Amino acid sequence: MSESVSGRWFGNYYYETRSESHGFEAVFVQSGTQVEGSIMDDGQLGEAHVSGTFTGKELSFCKIYNSAARDPVQYNGTMSEDGKSLSGKWNINTALGGAWTAYRMDDEAVPELTEDIKEEQPVYEPALEPVRRRTK
C-alpha cells in the first residue's frame, strides 16, 4: 500500500562535512504522484518552494529558495513503512550534499517534539466579523 506524503513535516538536514544539523518545516501537497509545497528553513535561508514526485515509498523533489539567488537543492528519500518518517540524501549540483530526515507532524508520530514546538509557536486567531446581509 502506498502512503501519501501530503501533510506537515518537521526535520533536519546535515552537511557531509559538518556535525551540526539545520532544522526545517515542510508542507507537502500530493496529487497523484506529483508533489508541491513549501519548506521553511531555520536561519537565514528562509522559505523555499518544492516540486517533485512521490511514487511507492520514494520521494524526490527540488527545493528553490524564494529570496536569495541560490542554487536549487535536490532531495531524494524514502518513507518509512509506517508512513511517519522520511529520510534520504540532498545535494546541490555535485559540489555539496548530505543527509536529511523528517517526521510527520499532523498525527502523533513525534508527540514530544510537537508539544515543544506548540509551546514556541505564537497562536494566530483571526478576528471574525459578523457577516451582514444587504437589504434593499
Summarised one tens digit per residue, pLDDT across range 75-86 is 999 999 999 999
Half-sphere exposure of 70 (CA within 13 A, CB side): 19
Dihedral through CA 41, CA 45, CA 47, CA 51, nearest 10?
Answer: -90
Of residues 117 and 84, more confidence is placed in: 84
Asked whether 61 and 50 are in contact (CB, 8 A), the reply is: yes
What's domain 7-120's superfamily in CATH?
Quinohemoprotein amine dehydrogenase alpha subunit, domain 2 (2.40.128.120)
Average pLDDT of the chain, as a whole number: 81
The residue whose grid cell reads 518544492 is: 50
Q: Is the pLDDT of residue 101 over 50?
A: yes
Q: Is 60 exceeded by the pLDDT of residue 1?
A: no
Work out the pLDDT band at 67, boundaries 50, 70, 90.
confident
pTM, two decimals, is 0.74
Is the confidence at residue 110, as pLDDT, over 70?
no
Tell me the domain boundaries of the chain: 7-120
Whose cell is 518552494? That residue is 49
Handedness of CA 118, 119, 124, 125 (dihedral sign): positive
Extended beta strands in the chain, E state:
7-15, 21-31, 34-41, 47-55, 58-65, 73-79, 85-92, 96-104
